[in-house]
Structure 1
């Protein structure tokens, strides 16, 4: 069977720590987790056709990445590659630049392809020579990817995703490589796993660090806060939103309720419109509170213009810190202990 878009990519379930060696079929393989856009790339098969780039949600986005389409014309026919779209800015990945690329079209897409070229980090092959590989074990599919890079001497915009089966190397990647903006953690696969579209059959671990934020608003009520909206002051003295927390557990919520005070007039977020999640347009109802309480939070490395994109975890109140002690807007986190 020849694969045709849209094809659901195989997904990963979040874990807090490295799994046991036998947790996935055939032993574990570790790959860096990049903070980009998941995509599948299809070369024409079997008759002449067009190169297709499909997003994780099934949208066809090849018109936004014309340089990838041109480069893919030199790849073999009947190929389907799974990977991550990224944009490099100097020595780090820029999610903001990738967003600009993903929202572009027409002449703007062509111009941005020159100014902010995209790269495709390949980590799997779903089809080769027009033959579907979904039932093949992962090691066979990886061999196909490595042969593709070797036989065609592939370079930019194509990148072969690094991988290791050495847990000590993987642990080093988790601590050292994630210091580079755009590298979030690890994806863990089984050497004998089949490719299961839409199934969370892999594992992922994000590097998590601790830092502080000023509680500027909550969802729920003052008596029963549910989530926190946290900010930091920028160089102009404006309180900027940097994170929203996951759901609070009952005991920390009760303790927080005793520390929070309803906002007086003139709160810095009085005119701010909040949404339910990063990238959403759905309004979020919040209760503004006086920005006097500092919380320690557990964060990952995925940031966009100074704000954490994924919900953060509340760790504890920092009653020993005043708002002025919190790092300024745009500064990073510190590695979590343990």
Structure 2
């Protein structure tokens, strides 16, 4: 890969798979060794800088460098000349994070990347330090890595910012409730005595979980064959339009096969479905922000994956008559941020009663107030 041909000479070299976190239900109590940080909602990224050479590595080890030229310049201006820093690429809209706009930055056309880097510039939130100068810190406990990270942020940052941290579990619980209003999606808990372990879930994450009643509008087949891969979910807006809000996919393999039979009576023709214009709209909005309720449009399933253009995102339409309860963690604009999880069928609910009004909206919170901590 071209971007890996950079002349880097660092004690920690790309690619490095980032250290991960495993989910836990409640906030872990302080045992004298824990650090609590906000969980940022963006693209995980490890920055490698050696002089003017900068490489932005992603979680799947595919480089972000070409998509964020403004961050490359910010790294040269704001970070030490030789360092490796772990963090999150985020994009803010006013006082909140905007993950949907961030996704638009992954685009094959260089001209569009340049335009978006100027109109919707991204920022980087640093939360770990893997190397500084000629020294690798991979085996160094997080307590020391955090102190060293703080030492390279002597002043208020520009596009490169330092995440706040606390060792107080009660304050972390307050952050968990407060910061969601700025678009953050939980708390990361790090043991202070741990080294940096790539691709291992040695940290913990506490995330919100809520439930909603949604309409089952169709399904996509599993990659292994003609069984259910994911169910497409919908909610009604006040004007009566049915919008695609996400998918549910947490089913055992045997259950996926059973669902095909159970859904047979509800099969519909696309032309008679509320998303009958899916193919036309998908082509019309390819490479552009999706139509949304807030724009007066109708959100429908995507046709092309931004990460894998060869991935088939066609779906089998169903009459919108079935209602299920799902668990979800947070909203991304008008849709679920992550895959929802099936909880139970709701035969007592009508599809028309499944509206956006049932969703809990977090109280707003200012990003600058978080970063000032």
TM (normalized to structure 2)?
0.74
How far the C-alpha of 1:207 sits from its partner, in A, is 1.1
Q: Deviations over 1:184-229 (max 9, x none)?
A: 11111101110011212111222112222111224689xx977532
> Over the residues paired in the alignment, what is the CA RMSD in angstroms?
3.4
2:37 equivalent to 1:35: no
CA contact (8 A) 2:91 2:123 kept: yes
Q: 1:228 aligns with which of 222, 227, 231?
A: 231
Question: Who is 2:189 aligned against?
Answer: 188
Q: Which residue matches 2:66?
A: 63
Which TM-score applies when normalising by structure 1?
A: 0.81
In the alignment, the residues of structure 2 paired with residue 332 and residue 117 of structure 1 have an alpha-carbon distance, to the nearest angstrom, of 33
Cα 1:236–1:155 change in 2 (3 A) is same
2:218·2:316 contact (CA, 8 Å) conserved in 1?
Answer: yes
Q: Which residue of 2 aligns with 1:157?
A: 159
Other structure's SS at 1:139 match: helix
- How far apart, CA to CA, are the structure 2 residues paired with 1:278 and 1:293? 27
Cα drift, residue 332 of structure 1: 7.5
Q: Distance in 2 between matches of 1:284 and 1:109?
A: 24
Residue in 1 aligned with 2:336? 308
Residue 296 (structure 2) aligns with = none
Report the alpha carbon displacement of residue 148 of structure 1 after superposing the two structures with TM.
0.8
| Structure 2 unaligned regions, length at least 5 | 1-9, 280-300, 363-373
- Decide whether aligned partners of structure 1 residues 332 and 64 sit closer, same or farther in structure 2, where only a CA change above 3 A counts: farther
Q: Does the CA-based 8 Å contact 2:52-2:76 persist in structure 1?
A: no
Q: CA deviation at 1:126?
A: 0.3
Structure 2 CA distance for aligned equivalents of residues 86 and 256 of structure 1: 39
Cα shift at 1:134: 0.5
2:129 alignment counterpart: 125
Counterpart Cα distance in 1 of 2:230 and 2:172? 33
Structure 1 gap segments, 5+ residues each: none
In the alignment, the residues of structure 1 paired with residue 260 and residue 13 of structure 2 have an alpha-carbon distance, to the nearest angstrom, of: 52
Please state if 1:247 is matched with 2:250: yes
Shift of the alpha carbon at 1:57?
A: 1.9
2:292 equivalent in structure 1:
none
1:167 corresponds to which of 141, 166, 169: 169
1:3 is paired with a residue whose SS is: coil
